[in-house]
């Protein structure tokens, strides 16, 4: 049997939906600056090099290109994690499951959702 969903006021849910939607758009824009959607897996992002035209004979240029690619990969990883957290929260809103702690099924504190609308657990279970 599925645990009973926590009910949050409808206007509060709409407020958080708005915040999540706005943040999702910002994260997508940031993702586009360091990566692209993987053509083999549209649910995945992959880093792209800053410059694509690098002379192989110029060691410094090659090293700079590799370093920039590695920086983009690190940034992309963090952005992709946040992107997925936001998408999960929006899906929970659609299913009527938003605001319930994934550990204890109690309602996540409003202050926690204000700080992080994509929070998956209450303060007690945040770690």
Residue 81 belongs to some domain of the structure: yes
Residue 4: inside a domain, yes or no?
no
Domain that holds residue 86: 10-99
Is 105 part of a structural domain of the chain? Answer: no
Q: Would residue 59 count as lying in a domain?
A: yes
Q: Quick: pLDDT tens for 77-119.
A: 999 999 999 999 999 999 999 999 999 999 999 999 999 999 9
Q: Which of 20, 34, 22 is nearest to 89 (CA)?
A: 20
Does residue 126 sit within a domain?
no
Does residue 113 form part of some domain? no
Question: For the segment 42-75, what is each residue's pLDDT rounded down to a tens digit?
Answer: 888 888 876 556 566 667 766 776 777 788 888 9
Q: In terms of pLDDT, which residue wins out, 5 or 89?
A: 89
Q: Is the pTM of this model over 0.85?
A: no
Instruction: Please report whether residue 123 resides in a domain.
Output: no
Question: How crowded is residue 45: how many other Cβ atoms within 10 Å of its Cβ?
Answer: 21
Is residue 44 in some structural domain? yes
Give 125's contacts (C-beta < 8 A, 6+ positions apart): 101, 102, 103, 104
CA dist 34 and 101 (Å) reads 33
In the chain, the number of structural domains is: 1
How much is the pLDDT for 126? Answer: 86
């Amino acid at each position: 049997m599925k645990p009973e969903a926590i009910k949050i006021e409808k206007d509060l849910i709409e407020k958080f939906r708005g915040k999540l939607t706005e943040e999702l758009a910002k994260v997508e824009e940031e993702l586009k600056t360091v990566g692209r959607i993987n053509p083999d897996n549209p649910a995945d992002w992959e880093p792209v090099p800053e410059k694509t035209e690098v002379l192989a004979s110029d060691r410094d240029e090659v090293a700079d290109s590799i370093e920039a690619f590695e920086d983009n990969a690190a940034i992309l990883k963090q952005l992709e994690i946040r992107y997925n957290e936001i998408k999960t929260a929006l899906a929970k809103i659609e299913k009527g499951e938003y605001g319930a702690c994934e550990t204890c099924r109690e309602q996540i504190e409003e202050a926690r959702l204000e700080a992080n609308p994509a929070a998956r657990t209450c303060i007690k279970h945040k770690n």
